[in-house]
Chain A
Amino acid sequence: MSESWKPTDDDQVREAVAWASAEAVPLEVVGAGSKRGFGRPLQCERDLDLSGLSGVTLYEPGELVLSARAGTPLAEIRAALEAERQELAFEPPDLSAFYGQERGAGTIGGTVAANLSGPRRLKAGAARDHFLGFRAISGRGELFKSGGRVMKNVTGYDLSKLMAGSFGTLAVMTEVTVKVLPAPEKLRTLLLFGLDARAAVAVLSAALGSPHEVSGAAHLPGDVAAESAVDHVAGAGTSVTALRLEGHGPSVEARCAALREMLAAGPAAGVAQEELHSRRTRALWQEVADLACFAARPELAVWRISVAPTRGPEVAAALADLPEMRHYFDWGGGLLWLGTAAGETAEEARVRDAVARVGGHATLLRAPARVRLAVPVFQPQDPAKALLTRRIKEGFDPNGVLNPGRMVADL
């Protein structure tokens, strides 16, 4: 068990990192520890536990902005936003159950550092698109800031983008500022039954290319649909294709009717339809976001595969024979969640090969530590990008003390 430091202010974080840098002692940067299974396993002498840096520091609903110390529980932020009928529009998933933790764990800093976004990503953008600014201690042991608290800002490089998805390998964020948006007043989901993946993605593409502002577009093969807690989905007895509509009341009703009509007249003629209202819609999309069908199968290794939406079914078909393979599509077909037997490599070579044929990337989101040590967790980069990655890491963390090896083996 490594020793843990729990700083309570920026200055203590700075001192800790400066010391670690001077002594070349690697630190594992931890929020709530809810996503520790994400990335390559670390063997650090010390944890830098940021849960002591907690609390919302600024929330102005009328300005659509919220700042919080990085260790603030996401649940606390969700509650504060809900009280003002607002939300994080990128729909951060709760992966705690997926990683075998208690539901509701996770911090705002961890969410941003992992750039986690849910089904609405295809309409509203990712965590990085809502991330306005931060304060952080780089691996050099220096406090710096970037961005701001306003929506529109092109002053200097957009280092927020660099921090989002950097998994604590460049700097330890101590405070983050995010854009927040009004929560939708009404939700509907249109379900279509019995489509195969190719036909489903064609329907999703048609719907996403319509003016009806679809905010969720998923396709669940029959075996995944059958496990849903939503009765209309579980009871379908076949695959379920789901389209979510959100917004102001009259608008959602009108769009839902128009979308049903449009699909029935063309891309999904003769396909059985069903509508879910707000409560069931929430439940279904939470399952999609939180990887419920994989949380229920903790023994499976799980890949996140991002490709052009129309190529999703092709990748799934190429990998259909993997042991214990199960999968579903989000983001209109562009996000393929795929589970397979962990084995020694989680079928890494097959997955990489299938993705390479269509372009995109694959991340091994969950697997036993031995597998995550044996194969690259993140998409291997071409030499040019790998060189940039190395130089950036060396610029921000020259002694390699922040989460070394979490993303790339020797970085």
Chain B
Amino acid sequence: MKMPEPDREVIARKREIVERLRALVPGPGGVIFDEDELLAYETDGLTAYRQVPMIVVLPSTTEEVSAVLAYCHAEDIKIVPRGAGTGLSGGALPLADGITLGLSKLNRILEVDYENRCVVTQPGVTNLGITRAVEGEGFYYAPDPSSQIACSIGGNVAENSGGVHCLKYGLTTNNLLGVEMVLMDGTVLRLGGKHLDAEGYDLLGVVTGSEGLLGVVTEVTVRILRKPASARALLLGFPSSEKAGDCVAAIIADGIIPGGMEMMDRPAIHAAEEFVHAGYPLDVEALLIVELDGPEAEVEHLIGRVGAIAEREGATYNRASQDEAEREAFWSGRKAAFPAVGRISPDYLCMDGTIPRGRLPEVLARMREMSERYGLRVANVFHAGDGNLHPLILYDANKPDELERTEAFGAEILKLCVEVGGVLTGEHGVGVEKRDLMGAMFDDTDLRHQQRLKCAFDPGQLLNPGKVFPELHRCAELGRLHVHRGQLPFPDLPRF
């Protein structure tokens, strides 16, 4: 993974920069520069890539964030924003000549407003922390990435995080009402609030999922929902992934949008069952968990309808949860799928492509072929409702060249996702991991238009450089217009 060449001059000024930062962020533990302490920040959830940052700064207020950014802007110093460091694409991978700006000290919920059904919070609060703050009144925050116990809401905004309930309840972007953010030059900006929709260009929409390249979010307003009155799940086993896929399509074609719809393939089922003993059938090739939530009358009605569809689509195992304990047991295996795979292999790499659901059989077949060719095992968990695949490639980093082979296998899977009409990443982000694959999905013109958005927010390209875009273009170059003066175009174009 090639990162921008570190600026030796900046690194040589480390001591001076530390002193300046200490004046700007005077609280205890606000500036970290000791080599040993910096090690804690050398990676995020994508542990295959590591880099010790030059300095870590942990501001406690928006004003401190603004002061740090204004200083770095003036001094041409790069910034890598960091939430809880749970991201899976290396978006918070530090730079040798950069300052990692952590938001962990901004960790208070500022306001709970039940009447307007929203929560105003600082970015360092965990995703689950928001739900915890409102569940006493029967509310929750809908997006639930699997790292929700640890990941921060600011990080969720940066990554546009999803979860298992996206098809029905949306991703972060669909549940976000407003942010306060700081631009690279220190400008503090408010987008949105407790009201709906943007007054001009939807800047809130483009900031969401921008992976820390446009600004640093210092406050977040999210929509909260009343918890569904009840939920039940069906555990459905099928003799093939094709049949399971057909069942998913039939459920949706019947006008039903389940709260969650997850698929696992045989290796994932076995790994999970051995780990948590969820009670999964072991004689099936694919397993579906279909969760229906809502008022009791609706859930009862739909459990019957989905059960009947599954029968018709050839389910060989078909069980509805009878109580809350059983529903949780159904989910326990799926939720433990990643650590379960971690038990049967020293290392694994989690991919994150999305495909049009109908192409699943073809994609799985070609992944099996790749698995043999690379000599690496793969287990699949799949957000079946929205087509988001999580192939887990099993490898051993201690074996020579296995990481390289794994990366090549992963890249081939993602290119396949794009080839069948899908995308490189459904919820983990591009970061550094998929940066060099962007060309598989976008041509140079596409990427340049994206980078022009970047240039509007951060013309000096000091925020999180080396992430998302395979090639850095200077903003002046991107702004240039290549003019071809000439005749009125196409005489054959209809005019009226």
User: B110 within 8 Å of A by Cβ?
Assistant: no
Q: Tell me if B297 and A253 are in contact (CB < 8 A).
A: yes
Instruction: Write the chain B residue with the least CB distance to A169.
Output: B201
- Known A363-B199, A407-B200: A150·B173 in contact at CB below 8 Å: no
Interface string of B146-160 (1 = CB under 8 A from A): 000000000000011
Q: In whole angstroms, how far apart are the Cα atoms of A372 and B159 in the complex?
A: 39
Q: Tell me if A156 and B206 are in contact (CB < 8 A).
A: no
Find chain A residues with CB under 8 A from B495 CB.
Answer: 3-6
Find chain B residues with CB under 8 A from A181 CB.
Answer: 257
Q: How many A-B residue contacts, CB cutoff 8 Å? A: 314
Question: What is the total number of residues of chain B having a CB less than 8 Å from a CB of chain A?
Answer: 108
Find chain B residues with CB under 8 A from A21 CB.
Answer: 481, 483
User: A91 within 8 Å of B by Cβ?
Assistant: no
Q: In whole angstroms, how far apart are the Cα atoms of A166 and B453 in the complex?
A: 14
Interface-lining segment among B52-60, B310-318, B382-390 = B382-390
Q: Tell me if B423 and A209 are in contact (CB < 8 A).
A: no
Instruction: Write the chain A residue with the least CB distance to B249.
Output: A62
User: A199 within 8 Å of B by Cβ?
Assistant: no
User: A79 within 8 Å of B by Cβ?
Assistant: no
User: A392 within 8 Å of B by Cβ?
Assistant: yes
Among B195, B226, B354, B488, find the residue whose CB has the most chain A CB atoms closer than 10 A: B195
Q: Tell me if B197 and A157 are in contact (CB < 8 A).
A: no
Instruction: Write the chain A residue with the least CB distance to B302.
Output: A248
Q: Tell me if A310 and B456 are in contact (CB < 8 A).
A: no
Instruction: Write the chain B residue with the least CB distance to A64.
Output: B252
User: A258 within 8 Å of B by Cβ?
Assistant: yes
Q: Tell me if A162 and B202 are in contact (CB < 8 A).
A: yes
Find chain A residues with CB under 8 A from B139 CB.
Answer: 209
Among B188, B191, B421, find the residue whose CB has the most chain A CB atoms closer than 10 A: B421
Q: In whole angstroms, how far apart are the Cα atoms of A129 and B208 in the complex?
A: 12
Find chain B residues with CB under 8 A from A49 CB.
Answer: 496
User: A57 within 8 Å of B by Cβ?
Assistant: no
User: B229 within 8 Å of A by Cβ?
Assistant: yes
User: B71 within 8 Å of A by Cβ?
Assistant: no
Find chain A residues with CB under 8 A from B183 CB.
Answer: 384
Q: Tell me if A250 and B298 are in contact (CB < 8 A).
A: yes
Among A143, A331, A395, find the residue whose CB has the most chain B CB atoms closer than 10 A: A395
Q: Tell me if B205 and A149 are in contact (CB < 8 A).
A: no
Interface-lining segment among B234-242, B391-399, B424-432 = B424-432
Interface string of B56-100 (1 = CB under 8 A from A): 000000000000000000000000000000000000000000000
- With beta carbons under 8 angstroms apart, the residue of B138, B301, B386, B493 that contacts A5 is B493
Q: In whole angstroms, how far apart are the Cα atoms of A248 and B297 in the complex?
A: 10
Q: Tell me if B455 and A308 are in contact (CB < 8 A).
A: no
Instruction: Write the chain A residue with the least CB distance to B178.
Output: A359
Give, as a whole number of angstroms, the nearest-CB distance from B288 to chain A: 15
Q: Tell me if A361 and B195 are in contact (CB < 8 A).
A: yes
Q: Tell me if A391 and B485 are in contact (CB < 8 A).
A: no
User: B365 within 8 Å of A by Cβ?
Assistant: no
Q: In whole angstroms, how far apart are the Cα atoms of A155 and B418 in the complex?
A: 11
Q: Tell me if B494 and A8 are in contact (CB < 8 A).
A: yes
- Known A162-B206, A165-B201, A361-B195: A85·B255 in contact at CB below 8 Å: yes
User: A16 within 8 Å of B by Cβ?
Assistant: yes
- With beta carbons under 8 angstroms apart, the residue of A125, A144, A152, A309 that contacts B354 is A152
**Which A162-208 residues have C-beta < 8 A from chain B?**
162, 164-166, 170, 181-183, 185, 202, 205, 208
Give, as a whole number of angstroms, the nearest-CB distance from B217 to chain A: 15
Q: In whole angstroms, how far apart are the Cα atoms of A247 and B298 in the complex?
A: 9
Find chain A residues with CB under 8 A from B201 CB.
Answer: 162, 165-166, 170, 388-389, 392
Q: Tell me if B297 and A154 are in contact (CB < 8 A).
A: no
Among B205, B447, B454, B459, find the residue whose CB has the most chain A CB atoms closer than 10 A: B205
Give, as a whole number of angstroms, the nearest-CB distance from A175 to chain B: 14
Q: In whole angstroms, how far apart are the Cα atoms of A155 and B210 in the complex?
A: 9
Q: Tell me if B195 and A150 are in contact (CB < 8 A).
A: no
Among A7, A138, A185, A385, find the residue whose CB has the most chain B CB atoms closer than 10 A: A385
Q: Tell me if A381 and B199 are in contact (CB < 8 A).
A: yes
Find chain A residues with CB under 8 A from B229 CB.
Answer: 211
User: B253 within 8 Å of A by Cβ?
Assistant: yes
- With beta carbons under 8 angstroms apart, the residue of A128, A250, A334, A391 that contacts B202 is A128
Q: In whole angstroms, how far apart are the Cα atoms of A308 and B116 in the complex?
A: 7
User: A101 within 8 Å of B by Cβ?
Assistant: no
Interface string of B292-326 (1 = CB under 8 A from A): 00111110111000000000000000000000000
Give, as a whole number of angstroms, the nearest-CB distance from B158 to chain A: 10
- With beta carbons under 8 angstroms apart, the residue of A63, A144, A150 that contacts B426 is A150
Find chain B residues with CB under 8 A from A162 CB.
Answer: 201-202, 205-206, 453
Find chain A residues with CB under 8 A from B159 CB.
Answer: 154
Find chain A residues with CB under 8 A from B375 CB.
Answer: none
User: A227 within 8 Å of B by Cβ?
Assistant: no
Q: Tell me if A395 and B479 are in contact (CB < 8 A).
A: yes
Q: Tell me if B481 and A310 are in contact (CB < 8 A).
A: no
Q: Tell me if A395 and B455 are in contact (CB < 8 A).
A: yes
Q: In whole angstroms, how far apart are the Cα atoms of A381 and B192 in the complex?
A: 12
User: A77 within 8 Å of B by Cβ?
Assistant: no
Give, as a whole number of angstroms, the nearest-CB distance from A106 to chain B: 19
Instruction: Write the chain B residue with the least CB distance to A258.
Output: B295
Find chain A residues with CB under 8 A from B300 CB.
Answer: 250
Give, as a whole number of angstroms, the nearest-CB distance from A243 to chain B: 14
Q: In whole angstroms, how far apart are the Cα atoms of A164 and B356 in the complex?
A: 23
Give, as a whole number of angstroms, the nearest-CB distance from A44 to chain B: 15
- Known A210-B226, A254-B296: A62·B115 in contact at CB below 8 Å: no
User: A273 within 8 Å of B by Cβ?
Assistant: no
**Which B162-219 residues have C-beta < 8 A from chain A?**
162, 166-167, 170-171, 173-174, 183, 187-189, 191, 193-206, 208-210
User: B422 within 8 Å of A by Cβ?
Assistant: yes
Give, as a whole number of angstroms, the nearest-CB distance from A143 to chain B: 7
Instruction: Write the chain A residue with the least CB distance to B424.
Output: A155
Give, as a whole number of angstroms, the nearest-CB distance from B212 to chain A: 12
User: A280 within 8 Å of B by Cβ?
Assistant: no
Give, as a whole number of angstroms, the nearest-CB distance from B14 to chain A: 31
**Which A300-317 residues have C-beta < 8 A from chain B?**
306-310
User: A410 within 8 Å of B by Cβ?
Assistant: no
Give, as a whole number of angstroms, the nearest-CB distance from B32 to chain A: 30
User: B39 within 8 Å of A by Cβ?
Assistant: no
- With beta carbons under 8 angstroms apart, the residue of A249, A379, A399 that contacts B200 is A379
Instruction: Write the chain B residue with the least CB distance to A141.
Output: B484
Instruction: Give 20 CB contacts A-B under 8 Å.
Output: A126-B197, A144-B446, A148-B422, A150-B426, A151-B166, A153-B426, A155-B423, A155-B424, A156-B442, A156-B450, A159-B449, A160-B205, A166-B202, A170-B201, A182-B256, A205-B117, A211-B226, A250-B301, A251-B295, A308-B194
- B residues whose Cβ falls under 8 Å from a Cβ of A: 113-117, 138-139, 159-160, 162, 166-167, 170-171, 173-174, 183, 187-189, 191, 193-206, 208-210, 226-229, 249, 252-253, 255-257, 294-298, 300-302, 354-358, 383, 385-388, 421-430, 434, 438, 441-442, 445-450, 452-457, 459, 468, 478-479, 481, 483-486, 488-490, 493-496
Q: Contacts A85-B255, A121-B196, A247-B298 given; 9 further ones with Cβ under 8 A?
A: A5-B494, A23-B485, A157-B210, A157-B450, A182-B257, A253-B297, A254-B297, A335-B196, A391-B456
| 7 tightest A-B CB contacts, nearest first | A161-B205, A251-B298, A395-B452, A254-B297, A361-B199, A308-B194, A379-B199
